[in-house]
Amino acid sequence: MSKHLFGLVVTHFGTAANNRGESEGNITTLQKILWNGEVHTSVSAEAIRWAIRYYWQRTGIEVNRKWNNDTNDHEWQDPDWLPWTNPQGKGKGKESYIDDDVLGFMLAEAAKSEGNEAEGAQAGKKKGKPRVDKRRGALEVTRAMSLTPFSGDITFNAKSGVKGSTSLYGSEVHATRYQYGFALTPGILAEQRRFLDVVDAVVSLSEVAGNQSRFLFDFSPDSVIFRWTDDFAPRMLYSFALDGDGSLSIPQVMQRINSGDIDPKEMIIGGSIAALKTVTELKGKGAFITPGVKAAAEEVKRRIAETLKIA
């Protein structure tokens, strides 16, 4: 039976602003969604996946979709995904780039046309079949949600333009934390060792999202919960909450552990959340608890490598 890695991340407290290129009038907006009856800000899963790919690129791991800071655009290294689409099956994905293997890809092309206007009814006749090259990503990521509702804060600014003119603009700002979850089944990777790079990316993300004017919001975990399990369901997504005094808590996780839905021996918890009395008590039930996020990452990597028999 395949084993699965589930993770839940909560970021440090920070001020989020300008995390996409869209605006309303002269106000740069945050993405928002109605969550538990209140408006919360959100960061898309695509933005988190982009940041993971960019982390790999910055650390020297070869990626297919490489970001060029000079042109402010992506450059494909292999737009045909030959290790996957080669008719001879050369490599069968073994020689692929990490982002193709972990994040997947899809290219849909219509069937090619033949003929011309002079051929009348024959014009535009389809030749061959539509082409679809795709691979479902092994890594699944949820949308990141703010832990606190959005109160509508906006900052106003001004900048000089052409001589004698001034441009006024504003940005929505949200002081909050974000939480998001992810799932990975290492067994379906063409190169199973790549789970190591996934875990490293999750605990090392810096800024996520942003347009031409970037803002810095630390998306590395303040606290992280890993679950290495035979269970197909994560059972712990969006489980971080804030107490009345603003402290982090995980009441849903504790409830599911106490009810027997989650085996505490599968749990690896790292970060500031480890100092909570209720979390510390999980040590006696077999959970791995550490104040360090990186220490938690090393432990989950060790367990997965041991299961997959990877040195």
Q: Give the tens place of pLDDT for each residue, 149-172.
A: 999 898 887 766 666 667 777 888
Kindly tell me the sign of the dihedral angle through the C-alpha atoms of 45, 199, 177, 58. Answer: negative
Q: What does the alpha-carbon distance between residue 93 and residue 241 come to, in Å, rounded to a whole number?
A: 40
Q: What does the alpha-carbon distance between residue 54 and residue 71 come to, in Å, rounded to a whole number?
A: 15
Residue 126 near residue 113, CB atoms below 8 Å? yes
Domain range enclosing 27: 4-110+129-308
Q: What is the pLDDT of residue 207?
A: 78
Assess if residue 121 is contained within a domain.
no
Mapping DSSP to helix (H, G, I), strand (E, B) and coil, where does residue 134 land? Answer: strand
Kindly tell me the sign of the dihedral angle through the C-alpha atoms of 298, 199, 189, 186. Answer: positive
Q: What is the pLDDT of residue 130?
A: 61
Q: Tell me, rounded to whole angstroms, the distance of Cα 77 from its chain centroid.
A: 22
Assess if residue 12 is contained within a domain.
yes
Assess if residue 115 is contained within a domain.
no
Assess if residue 118 is contained within a domain.
no
Assess if residue 274 is contained within a domain.
yes
Q: What is the pLDDT of residue 115?
A: 46
**Domain total of the chain:** 1
Residue 41 near residue 225, CB atoms below 8 Å? no
Assess if residue 117 is contained within a domain.
no
Residue 42 near residue 31, CB atoms below 8 Å? yes
Q: What is the pLDDT of residue 298?
A: 98
Q: What does the alpha-carbon distance between residue 144 and residue 146 come to, in Å, rounded to a whole number?
A: 7
Q: What is the CA radius of gyration of the chain?
A: 23
Q: Give the tens place of pLDDT for each residue, 180-227.
A: 999 999 999 999 999 999 999 999 998 786 554 556 789 999 999 999
Assess if residue 32 is contained within a domain.
yes
> pTM (2 decimals)?
0.86
Report which secondary-structure segment, H or E, holds 178: strand 178-184
Residue 181 near residue 8, CB atoms below 8 Å? yes
At position 145, the amino acid (one-letter code) is M
pLDDT < 70: residue spans in the chain: 1, 18-26, 87-94, 108-132, 159-165, 209-215
Looking at the chain, the whole-number percentage of residues with pLDDT higher than 90 is: 62
Q: What is the pLDDT of residue 61?
A: 96
Assess if residue 120 is contained within a domain.
no
